[in-house]
Every structure is written in C-alpha cells, then in structure tokens.
Structure 1
Amino acid sequence: MNAVGSKTAKSTSRRLPAKSLRNTSITASALSLSAAMLIPQQALAQDAPVKMLAPVKIEDTAIDPNPNAEVGVPYKARTSGDERHTRPLAETPQTISVLTKSQIDDSGYTDLVRILDAQPGITIGTGENGNAFGDRYIIRGQEARSDVFVDGLRDPGMTIRESFAIEQIEISKGPNSSFAGRGTSGGAINAITKQATNAFDFGKIGVGLGTDQHVRATVDVNHSFGEKFAVRANALYAYEEIPDRGPADRERKGLAVSGVFTPNDNLTLTLDYYGLRADDNPDLGSYLTDMLPTKGVPVYAQKQDFQSSDVDTFTARLAYSFSPDLRVMNLMRYGRSDNGYVVTGARGTTALDPDGDYASATLSTHQGWQDVEYFANQTNLFWDADLFGRKHDFIAGVEYTNHKVLNGVYNVNNTGSPNCMTGNATAPNSFCAIGPDGGAVNGLNTLLGREITRGNWDSDWGVETIAVYLLDTFDLTDRLSLFTGVRFDAYNFDLATQNSRTMALDRYKNSDSLWNGHVGVTYKVGGGGMFYASFASAADINGGESDVGTNSGYGGTVIYNGSIAGAAPERSINLEVGTKWNILDERLLLTAALFQSTKSDVMEGADYDSVGTFNTGKNRVRGVEFGVTGNVTDALTVQGGLTLMDSKVLKSATPDNVGKVLSNFAKYSAVLQAKYQLTEKFSFGGAVKYESKRFGGQPDTAASYAADGSYRVPVPGYAVFDLFATYQITDDLELRLNINNVGNKDYYLAVYRSGSFLYKGDGRTGRLTLTYDF
C-alpha cells in the first residue's frame, strides 16, 4: 500500500498532519472480514474456501510537498522540476545531480555557493576586482556564473542566492544549450522553488541557534481555501558572524509567496513573489606569500564594508490541458536586483612603519554596484502523440528574454591616516593590517575611515533574445529510447561603456543567431539498469558575461579594431556515455558517466584590456563521474559523487598556454553525505567533501604559471568533515544538531589570479535547530 503523500489524491489527503502514523499493523482477522465481505454471493453459495490473508504492514511517511520527490526516500528526486525532461531522472541520457530539500537541511548549509561547493565537479571562483557582486560557480572547468536558472528561466545578475525557498537544486553537467540557450559550456544550475498546493495543508516553523552568534528562523506554511485556491508562504531571517572571522558577518531576510488557482480540472494559474535582502560585511580571508597561504591573518574588514543583494521577482504560470495528450504551459517573469559591494583586500606587500620597522598586509579597496532588470516569457506546448506506431513526447517551445545590467562604481574616500610606507616612500602612504610585532594594528577595523557614496555607471549591458526549440522523446522498442532536441536563438547585444572619470562614451552592438542540438539514446537492460550515449552542443556570445564590461581578461567583451562584431560564437561539444541503475525497488540510484567536453573558438582576453583575440582558443575536459543517491537500506540514506577529470588547453594565441591545465580546475573532487536512522526517533549522519589542488588564472585559459612553466597561484586541496544528528521529540517536534568543519580545518575556496585574495572556508560551527510541524 502506498504511503500518503502523493499529490494525486486531493480530497483524501487534505489537512492530514505533516507527520502521520508510522508502522501501523492491521490484524489478520480484520482483513479476513474485509475479504469475506467482498466475496461474490455465488462463491458463498458454493461454499468456496476463503483464503486467509497474512498481516499487512503499512509504512507511512511524512508528506513531502515536492511533486518531484521519490516518496519515502528523502535524498532522492524521481523527476526533474523542469517538465521539459519528460522521463524520470533515472532514464535521462545526461548527468543531472539533484539535491533535495531534505539533503540540504541535513547538510547545514544554506547559501547556494556553499551548497554547490560541496558537489563534485564544481569549484568556486573569485570575480573581477576580487568579487563578482555575488556567487561565481565553475562546472567542469567552465564558467557558469551566468548559467543559473530558477524554475527553468535564466536568473541574470551576480546576486547572493539563498535556499530557504528552494525545493530542490538540479545541476546539469556538460554543454546543453538546447534547453538553456546561450552559455552553459560546462553545465547549468536550476533551482526549483516551493509552490503552493491545494492537495493538503501543512506548516513548519524552524528556529536555529549556534556559535558565532548564529540565528536562523524560517516559516513554511501552505493553506488551501476549498478545492480551487491555495497559498504558500516562506519567510526567513538569519544572522551570523563569519566563523572565526568576526566581526565580519552575514544577514539574510527573505519572503516567498506562491498562490495557485485551479478553477477546473484543465486550468491552473500560479502567481509567485520572491524577495531577498542579503547584507554582509564580507571577509576576503587570506592571501598568498611565496605562493603559500598566509596563516594568522587578522580580520581586516572595515566597519563600513558591505556586500548586498536586494532581489525582487514576480512569476506567473498558466497551464491549460486541451486533452489528456495536449497541454500548454506559459511561464512569465519580471525581476529586479540591486547588488553592490565595497570590500577590503589585503596582500603581503613589504612595508615599513614610520619608525622603519617591518609591517605587512597592505590594504586595498575593491568595489562596484550593479542594477539588474529582466523580463522573460517561455511557452511550451506538450503533445503526447502516436506516430508511425511509436509514442512521442513532443515539446515545442518559444522563449523571449530581455536582460539588462547596469554596472557602476562607488566613490570611496579613505579619511584615515596611512600607517606604513611602501615602495620608495619616505612618509606613510599605505595602510597595513599587521604591525612590527606580527599582530593586528590598533583600530584595524576602522583604520581606513571610509566615506562611501554611489558613483557613475561604467557599463550598460543588454541582451534581447528570441528562441524557438523542438524536443522529442520516443521509444524505438520496449528497451530502446531516443531523445532529440534542436534550438535556435536570435539575439541583439548592446553594450555601452563610459569612463567614470572622463565620461567618455563607447557603444558596441552585435546581432547574430545560434543553433544547438542534443541527441541521446538509452537502452534498458532490466533490473532497473540502463545504458546511454549523448551528444550535446552549446554556444556563447562575445560579451556574454554581464558584470565586467570590456575587461576581456575576466570574461568581458573582447574588442578588435574597435568592434565586437565579427567574432564567431564560442562552441562547446559534449560527448558522454554512461549507465544508471535504479535499484532496490527504485529507492537507490547508481550512476556512472564517461565524458569529454571540447570548447572551441574561444575569445581570449589580454589581461584586463578590452583588446583581445577572436576565436583563438580551444580547450578540452575529459573525465568520469560516479554518483549514488537514495536508501541503501531502510535505515541508511546516502547522497554522494566522485569526479575525476583532466583538462588541457589545445589552442591559444599565447603558444606557451598550449598543454597547460585550465584555471580554477580541480582534477579530483568527491562528496558523501550519509544518514542512519538508528531508532524510530533518533538518526545521525555526516558528510565528507574533498577537492584537490587547483590554480588561479583567467577563465577559459591556462592556469597562471611562472617563467619556467611551473604553475603558481595555488588553492591547496582539502578534506572537510561535517556531522549532524536528529531527534524526533514528538511527532511534530524535531531537534537537529549540525557541527560543520568538525576539525576546524583551515581551507580555501578560491584564489584571485594575482594571489592577493585567497577566500577562506568557514571555520568550525555548531548549530541547534528546532522544527515544529503543524
């Protein structure tokens, strides 16, 4: 008997508590009576023997509002939140890693950048000027900071991203522009948000307290008003000092509201709002000295420093079924985000104090603001058709997007008194964080005395795109299936730049089109197993990164002879073969994939100059990835993966780059999170994440190297261990303990290409979270 929790039974499941009865047994006598009542009268008249049924044990589970979840398997999703993937994930010819809300909650991580850092094949990068306004991700060695999607629509802007309103996170590995459009040379990240449902009511309140002044409060409430209308609201407040780096801190305020209206069985209208206010006093961590991490660097963030993201998005979904085999869905979104930062960097410059004694850790200022506005509309027609004796899942789609990003600068006036001398200076001309005694100088966090005002804009970036695509999945035989997809994008690119001091203005425009395709074949072998092969392409445009203007060395627009036009699109091809095994009554998914991604026609930047070269680069990534997700036993739940990769620059305008590894590229990475249900009330678990050594540098090209060819600017490899435990106090009340970075290990997430910033991972944290279901 299936557990309660399916969204298909509206009237029977409404207003059931989120925690329901567990391990209920029905006696044999009751079943015998029920069976006897169902026996036809003729059988009774003939004195037919009555077969006694054995006792049946019903395993009930908590209701999961995520429609994509595998019921009763908390870490495993059955389907993608993107309905264009018409088959279950276990039958999809592509590597797609899915992180469920249960797995995310157990991990203790809440910001998207820290959640993704724990996943194999993904590294974290720094951005232009030491920070790219928000989060920066690198998938299989390729930039993905502009390849973040929410419910299948691109989410532009380098914002800080939180998980309080997320149902599951989907990480698609490998180029795949037939789904996502431009970019996605290494893959894409798609966040599936929490949606209202009129299937049942539920509510959850969570309050967490912990070390480093950690406090986190969340509310998730869904209520139905009759059969046709329901509302779901999620709210967040969170604050903490950055572990071991206070008074640097993070603060989050969020609200997400979703309403669904179903006037009849054929029509569904959903309206959503998402808002986030993220306000940090950020810490850029350490720096390299003689190409090694510098230990014991004091917290030098200034009191006036900030990194903020104010996000507001509105989404409307309209779904209509013409018949059981024909339906249409329209997704429309308008969004704005205002992002800004003024942060302090430090580097190990040799300096002297006014008495001529040695000082170090000279401080610098890094800043910028970004206003994002975007509109998107995506319409998909789903048609399940029988053609030529085969059942086809056709999807025809059209998408319009208009993304606008205005970048600018702050006017920062440091009114403090310099306390050290650099270069040939004879009087103090710099600010140093470390004095002659090797300790922090007095008043370090107010040393610069900053006065900050918003300044002029320096780049006005925009891309308007119209795309059409056709996807089809069909069965050639009972075992053999084929997926095909093709997409056409036509875009208009517009970039205006102005010198924030001289106000000199330049304008660059370009229009072009992109064709991309995807073909995948799967073969079922029985026992829950299948093998697959896949070919997919991706394409990106000159100037595809919105946050860096014409700073071509960090992914910005490359200018040649005063123009951006004339560059062919960058092309990526992914070849992948793999196998997936959905075993143990579909409760455990095992995956393995062998892949090769080749990116050609790469536009190469020249340091920070706008001038670069068109289509001169080519690089390749080869590797193998293994994954495991689900229940190994009734008591043991796991989610993990292992990625082994190799990268190589195949062509470059700089001949010495050829043969080198890509920047920000980890050859080996692995994660395993496991949870064991020791008793009905008590469970415990842990996680280990490992990432090998990597080297900083410009995107899409070789890691930084010295004159002798040896790599420099390293990020040391690391392994970090986390622990957690959960106790079910009552059916409705749960207590969870998280201890992350148990060994309080010094580890680093990313390095700026000069080595002057070495982002430090969080130190040890301890947190207690009390959750009440109602």
Structure 2
Amino acid sequence: MSRSSTARSGASYLALACVGFIATAPAHAADNNNPTPADADKEAQDRSAQDRDQIVVNGARSGELQGPKAVATVENTPRSVIVLPKDVIEQTGSTTLADALRTVPGITFGAAEGGNPIGDRPFIRGFDSQGSTFVDGVRDTAAQTRDTFAIEQVQVVRGSDSTLGGRGSAGGSINIITKTPQATDFVRATASYGTDDYKHASLDVNQYLGGNVGVRIAAMWHDQGVAGRDAIWQRRWGVAPSVTIGLGTDTRLTASYYYLESHELPDSGIPYLYTIGNAPGAGEIYSEPAIGKVTTIGGVTGNVSRDTFYGLKDRDFRDAYTHQAALRFEHDFGTLTLRNSSHYGYNEQNYIYTQPDDQQGNVFGTTAVVPTGAAATRGDRVNGGYLWRRANTRYGYTETLGNQTDLFGTFDTGSVKHSIALGTEVSWEKARRGAYVLATGSTVSPRCNNDTLARFYCTSLFNANPNDAWVNYTGDTTTVQTPIVEGAHSAETQNEANSVSAYAFDSITLVPSLLLNLGVRYDHFTSKLTPALAAGTTQTVTLERTDDLFNWQAGLVFKPTKNTSLYASYATAATPPNSLLGEGSEPNALPTTNTAANLTLLDSLKVEKTKSYEVGAKAGLFNEQLSLTLAAFQTDTDNARATGEDGTVQFVGKRRIRGIEFSFNGNVTKWLNVFGGYTHMDPKIVDGGYTALTAAAVVVGNVTVQPAKSVLVPSVNTGRQATQTAADSFTLWANLTPVKGLSFGGGAFYTSRVFGGYSDNRTATQNAAGVVTVNPATKVLLRSVPEYWRFDARLGYKINEHFDVSVNVQNLTDKVYFPQAYSAHYASIAPGRSAFATLGVKF
C-alpha cells in the first residue's frame, strides 16, 4: 500500500507543478522587450510547421547526430549509425526506451537473471550493450528501465565503439539526447487512455523568458495494466526541468535535472518446458517456453494460457528511483566551441520477482513413475505440471559523479578542412547491492510437495494464482512468521571505479570527395570490489585492479556525388574486468573472495578485446529527405574469459559476428515517411573454452580404489549461434498522410529465433584402473524462443494547429511471442493486443 500511495502523491505533485508552470506561460510570451523567434512572419511559421511534420534526415534537426563528438554528418560518418527521432517515438506510442528501440533493426533484448539486474538490456550486433548506454554522451551505469518523456532523440552507433564512449561498447552504444531549452515558446501536452487501464499524460513546455534565458520542463505520469497478462501493473512519474542562460549568444550555461520514480509488479514470464535431465528424445532438442497445450512426463495434458502469471502479489514488487543532475558551460571561439559538463547520478532499485522453476525440472517432470513410500507421504510432485517460485531479490543503489571537457568545431589548414573534437573526462562510480532475507523453499528437495504447495513456494503450471496468501517464515520448515528484511550490511557487495580519459577525433576533408575520419582514446580505469563479509571472518577485504585502455578508429569516405558516399572503417573496443560494476551481466568479474587462487586470478585477468571491420554505402535521396544505408561488417572478440584446457581460468574465448545491414529513414514523398531496416547476422561462438565433467570415484566393497576425477571437454557453446542474438530482424514504421490533417501509421517487426543457452548430457566414467572415458552426448538442449512477426497501427487526425487526436493499436494480431530469452530458466512474454487514444494539445 505504501508504494501505491507514494506513486499517487508523486503524480499529484507533478500535476500541480505542471499546471502552475503553464499558467505563467502567457506572461513570458508577452515580453515585448525581448521578441522571440515566434514573432517571425506568418508565412515562415506555416513553412516551419509543415517542415516539423516531416522527418528531416540530413539537416540540423532530428536526422543528425548531436553532441560534441559528432564531427561529421551521418552521411559522412564511416560506420553504421541510426538516429531514432522523437517523431517515430511519438508515433509508435513508445513510452520506454525498450519500446522505442524495437523499431531499430538488429537490436534484441536479454532478460534479467540471477546475476543480471532488471533493466534495459539491449544487444547490438550480438553484444550486451546494457553498460554502453549514455545520456548526453555521459555513461549511465545503473541498470534501469528508462522512460522516453525527456528524450529528444536516440543515437545508435553500431560496431566496436570504445573510442567514442570508453570501456565496453563491443557491439555498439546507445546515446540518449535529452530535451533542453530552445529560443521559442511552446506548450505540448498529451493525455492517453486505453485498454487494460492504460493511462498516460505528458507535458513539454518551453518558455523564452527574454534576456537570452530559456526554461523547459518535461513531465510524465503513467499508470497501466499489461494486455494479456494477469495481475501485472506499472506506475511511474517523472519530471525534467532545465534552464539555459545565454541562448543565442557565444556563452551559454545550462542546468538540468531529471527524476523518475517507478513502481510495478514485475513480470516473471513463462518457464522453459525442458531441462537437459528430462528432455525427451535424442539429438538437438529445442526447449521453448511452456505455453499453450503442454503434456508432462507423467502424461497429464493441460493448457498454459498467455495470461498465466507465476509471481505473487503479496511478495513481489519493484521500486526504482533515478536522480540525474547536470551543469553544462559552453563558449564559442569563432568556429570552435569549448564545453565543460558536470554530471551527477543516483539510481536506486529494490525488487523481489519470481523466476519460475529455476531449472528444477518440475515443469515437464523428472519421472513418469508415481511416487511411493516416503515420497508419496510427502506428496512429492515429480510427474510434472508444477513449478517452483524462486525469488530473485536485490536492493541497492548506484552513484556517479563526473566532469567532461570538450573542444570541438572546424578549422582549415590550407585546402584541408578539419572537424575536430578533443576532450578529457574524469569520473567516479559506486554501486552497492544486497539481497532480501526470505524463505522460498530453496532447501527442500524435490522443491514441490504438499508442504511447499501449502506455503505457495510451488504452484500449478496450469492454474497459478497470483493472489495466493504468501507468508514469510524464518525458515522453510518453521512456523514462525517474520517480515521480509534487507540482508545484513556486511552481506552487501560494493563496487567502485575511477576513470581518467582523454580522446581526440578529426574528420578531415582532404578534397571535397574524400574524407578521412580518425579517432583515439585512452582510459585509465581502476576498479575496486569489496565483497560480502565471508562466514567466520570479521574483516572485509578490497580487491583492486587497474587497466590502461587504448582504442582507436579509422575510416575513409569517398563521395561519388554530393549526396552519396562509400566508406570503409576499422574500430576497436576494450572491456576490462569488472566493467559493469555489478550492474549487468559480468562474465569477467573480479573475484569475490581473497583466497590465494583468486588473488592469483586477480593479477592474471585480461581485458577483453574487440575489433570491427565495416564497409558500406550511404545515399540521400529526394533532395536529401530519405537516407539509405547499406553496410557489411565483421566483429571479432578475443580474450573472453573461459575455462582453459588445463582447468584454470584462461582468456581464450572467441566470438565472431558477421552480417549485413540495410536501413532507411526519412521522407519518400511529402505524404509518406518511413523508418526501419533489415539486419542479417551470422553470430558465432568460435571458442567457448572447456567444461569440466566429473568421473565418480570407484568403490570396491568399502574401499575407494580410485578417487573422483575431473576431465575437461570442449564447451557445448563452441560453434553455436551467439545467445540473445537474432540472425535476422526487420523493422518498418511508415506514416502516410493522404490528405491534410489525416495520417495512417503502421509498423511491421520481425525477429528470427533467439537462443538463450545450451547444454548437453555428456558424462565421464572411470574404471578400477583409473582410465577415464567420456561418454558422448546423446542430446543437446537448445533453450530458445521462436521467431515472430508483430504488427502495429495508428490513425491520427489534426483538428487544427492546436489540437490533434490519434488511436494506436499495438500487437494488432494479438500475437503470442517472447521478446527476451533467459539463459536457462524462463522467457519474457510480450503484451497482447492493446489500444489507446491520445489527445494532443500544442500552443
């Protein structure tokens, strides 16, 4: 109840603040001593309004890169770059960053897991980019679910990108450009209402106060259920004020703040049907989510409907709070600009959510034999049709502080033109996390029996009830009730990092038809990890590591005509150990104890290296209103952490991603604009290292003649498709305006099969002489989600220059599909068909 009250009180405060701000707007607009650009002639205003209805590709508006490191236009940048403008975000009804990014081809999403917190987890060109998300060019470390209300555009740079953003960015990066004050007056507000209790309101107000001062406030309130899902709800509100002093002058100072508060019942998705231990048949076996008609190993057939929710309303929750503050100073020296930006961020996230079954085998069942004896007395559920409600818990915060200085602009050296960006960055990051203390049945084996069902630790696969009256006890078998509490302070894990960076970029126009693009970056990255206090100890330890990273990129652009370009480029990326500070999937984390072996490992850790090769062509058609890009690329990763052939941790893992991309963005005609593209990839795990198998001890009578032995075999992952990555994806959003004021929008989105993880049933045995035999696999389990098509539609009508209405229908065909594949346990299920109507107001 307290969480809901907090959300409602926040929304009320937001509404009052917004009303007050709008009420003062006429006074600012009437400042006759400082006329604004809105005082221009009526004909120019009409032309401007018409232009705003189109997606301008290569001009200075939505189709171009923004920020000091954007030393060239999209057309003259020798790599694949997608600029997602706010027009497409608004037309598609996208209220979260994940919603918006589904319109970009080649991006898939990974699910939250035990070691990976809930939050946006996009994969670009086969690589996890959760830690390579930036806001106005500044790394946004914390795992979180981002809203779009304060977003001006989203820039997706594909390919190895550490030169641009620093550590990580193996497959690319995402840069969010936020809304800032403009030298004009406007009020834009929307109110939406739809199916499944969908309610959304947004506000964007910009006022020119005179004296070269502008203020802007963006705000949002959101409350909804989820179409096709039982019990799920989401509420959030946010506000983002900013002020700029010196608009239109050589010296500008911008201060901004962003706050987002979210509360929700998190969705636990649908469990996979099989584990490697119970999968029927032989050879390659696909384990997909247990949806629709399911027959268990015991022969029971039932139906898992799309709305089945395995979580618990009395236990599960997610609360998140984000604060971001920034201060930016800029001064123009002719064609060069000096910018200094200071930024502070604080993100808190606390949750308990159900991870269905956790590979316990209860879904399909572990045996067809009916239990007898003690197992029958306990009521062990081993014949399938049940699942364990594993609680995945986390509480904690991430805090960042940084300063960035940039010098950027243009100058000439004789006949050679330069567009440069030079900069330095210093940052400090801290992340601390712990887990809640609660009993979940994790000490009971098998997990599901009469007692665990009575306590709602387990539930029916076919008839789960989220309203089960779950109660927390001091233990799995005690009857003493206790509230859920945070773990001891000494049980928390803390990560810290300090970075000092310097970088330089230059887009050199050698002759009008030939451009050379160069970039270098150096990062001095120090990471510290203070693990939870080990049992029986009284003093914590801190493990520390420092890495020096050097990355570079180079590209050549040839322009056969003014509006076309051919390019080739090379770029690197470096991902040091503990790069994500525990805020994402960390395959190369620092060790968490101070054992001799781990201290040795600490010194032997290596930086994961990635290289990208790319060639492509770009063209601006129809008076540069439509941008087309075609690219072919290969990305190679070395030094990935894996088990070596001698059983020790080594850095032998390799991945290779090859592919082609085609994208389009802009206006085909004055009445049709399009956004989207197609991506085909061959994402391959070239070397996954080794996996250890244990040959059991040989016992003759009561004498052990051979101890247990470990033998290494090549990983089941080697040679297989990289996980969380689709081989093929296609997106299209089109907006058609046949007559003035009337528009039709439509979207088509395709993603091919995505794999979450692999396992096999190889075993090792030994004889009395100690000779070990590896028994080859009879089956390989491929956990995956099937391909899908999704279609959206929109109808809009502009009543007059101040009012417009629209209706969006999402997932038009009510398709059951899964947009996220977890590595082992479950897959996230997408919402069903939903519709909402929106009233827009502009002044």
TM exceeding 0.5: yes
Equivalent position of 2:605 in the other structure: 567
d(CA) in 2 for partners of 1:757 and 1:638?
35
Match of 1:305 in 2: 316
- In 2, Cα distance between equivalents of 1:360 and 1:404: 41
- Helix, strand or coil: the match of 2:118? coil
After superposition, where does 1:326-365 map in structure 2 within 5 Å?
326-347=336-357, 349=362, 350=365, 360-365=386-391
**CA 1:442–1:510 in structure 2 vs 1: closer, same or farther (change >3 Å)?**
closer
Deviation at 1:651?
2.7
CA offsets per residue over residues 525-568 of structure 1, 9 Å max, x none?
A: 1151110111111101011122269x96x553358542422323
Per-residue deviation, residues 60-112 of structure 1 (Å, max 9, x unmatched): 425759xxx96599998332122311221122111111111110111112111
Give the CA deviation at 1:370: 2.4
**2:653 maps to what in 1?**
617
Q: 1:368 Cα shift?
A: 0.7
CA distance in 2, matches of 1:206, 1:16: 25
Partners of 1:300 and 1:433 within 8 A in 2: no
Question: Are 1:529 and 2:599 matched, yes or no?
Answer: no
C-alpha displacement of 1:116? 1.9
Aligned residue number for residue 495 of structure 2: 461
SS of the equivalent of 1:113 reads: helix
1:452 aligns with 2:493: no
- Does 1:695 pair with 2:755? yes
Once the two structures are TM-superposed, the CA of residue 294 in structure 1 deviates from its matched residue by 1.3
Equivalent of 2:789 in 719, 729, 733? 719
Q: What's 2:814 paired with?
A: 744
2:518 maps to 1:484:
yes
**Residue 686 in 1 paired to residue 697 in 2?**
no
CA distance 1:167–1:384, shift in 2 (3 Å):
same
User: In 2, Cα distance between the equivalents of 1:745 and 1:252?
Assistant: 27
The corresponding residue for 1:34 is: none
Q: 1:515, CA displacement in angstroms?
A: 0.6
Is residue 183 from structure 1 mapped to residue 168 from structure 2 by the alignment? yes
1:300, distance to aligned residue in structure 2 (A): 2.5
Farther-moved stretch of structure 1 (352-361 vs 205-214): 352-361
Correspondences of 1:143-182 after superposition (within 5 Å): 143-182=128-167
Pick closer, same or farther for the CA change 1:382–1:718 going to 2, 3 Å.
same
Q: Structure 2 length normalisation: TM-score?
A: 0.79
Query: Is residue 372 from structure 1 mapped to residue 357 from structure 2 by the alignment?
Result: no
SS at match of 1:114: helix
Residues 193, 837 of structure 2: 8 Å contact kept: yes
CA distance 1:107–1:353, shift in 2 (3 Å): farther
2:205 is the counterpart of 1:221:
yes
How many angstroms apart in 2 are the aligned matches of 1:393 and 1:453? 56
CA distance in 1, matches of 2:101, 2:803: 29
Residue in structure 2 matching 1:101, options 74, 77, 86: 86
Q: Which structure ranks higher in relative contact order (CA pairs < 8 Å, sequence separation ≥ 6)? A: 2
Give SS of 1:91's match: coil
Match of 2:581 in 1: 546
Q: Is the counterpart of residue 669 in structure 1 residue 729 in structure 2?
A: yes
Letter of the 1:444 counterpart: D
Note the residue ranges of structure 2 that are not aligned, 5 or more in a row: 1-32, 275-286, 292-303, 367-375, 474-481, 691-713, 762-776
Give 1:751 deviation, angstroms: 2.3
Amino acid at match of 2:132: D
Cα pair 1:342 1:368 within 8 Å, conserved: yes
Residue in structure 1 matched with residue 542 of structure 2 by the alignment = 507
Distance in 2, Cα, partners of 1:354 & 1:176: 56
**Distance between the aligned counterparts of 1:22 and 1:585, measured in 2?**
22
Query: Does the alignment pair 1:232 with 2:179?
Result: no
Which residue of 1 is the match for residue 37 of structure 2? Answer: 14
Is 1:557 the counterpart of 2:590? The answer is yes
- Give me the identity figure in percent: 28
- Which residue does 1:33 correspond to in 2? none
Query: Structure 1 355/574 Cα, relative in aligned 2: closer, same or farther at 3 Å?
Result: closer
2:463 maps to 1:439: yes
Name the amino acid aligned to 2:290: T
Amino acid at match of 1:689: F
The CA deviation at 1:152 is 0.4
Uncovered stretches (5+) of structure 1, i.e. residues with no partner: 1-9, 25-57, 698-702
8 Å contact 2:106–2:679 — kept in the other structure? yes
* TM-score for the superposition, normalised by structure 1: 0.86
- 8 Å contact from structure 2 (residues 615, 631) kept in 1: yes
Q: 2:49 aligns with which of 46, 61, 72?
A: 61
User: In 2 relative to 1, CA 447–119 (structure 1 residues): closer, same or farther, beyond 3 Å?
Assistant: farther
- Structural RMSD (CA): 3.1
CA deviation digits over 1:155-192, x for unaligned, max 9?
01101111000000111101011110100001001000
Partners of 1:264 and 1:144 lie apart in 2 by 36
**Stretch moving more, 572-581 or 261-270:** 261-270
What is the alpha-carbon distance in structure 1 between the residues aligned to residue 796 and residue 140 of structure 2?
A: 34
2:70 maps to what in 1?
Answer: 85
Of the three residues 262, 267, 273, the one matched with 1:289 is 273
Whole-angstrom CA distance in 2 between matches of 1:475 and 1:353: 81
* C-alpha distance in 1 between matches for 2:439 and 2:99: 33
Distance in 1 between residues matched to 2:452 and 2:247, nearest whole Å: 73
Give the corresponding residue for 1:40.
none
Structure 1: how far apart are the matches of 2:648 and 2:134?
30
- SS at 1:15 equivalent: helix
Kept after mapping to 2: 8 A contact 1:383/1:393: yes
Question: Quick one: which amino acid aligns to residue 690 of structure 1?
Answer: Y
8 Å CA contact 1:558, 1:605 repeated in 2:
no
Q: Which is worse superposed, 147-156 or 375-384?
A: 375-384
Which amino acid is the alignment partner of residue 787 of structure 2? G
For each residue in 1:191-250, what CA deviation from the matched residue of structure 2 results, as whole angstroms up to 9, or x when unmatched? 0000011x2100011100011101001110001111311100011100111222132111
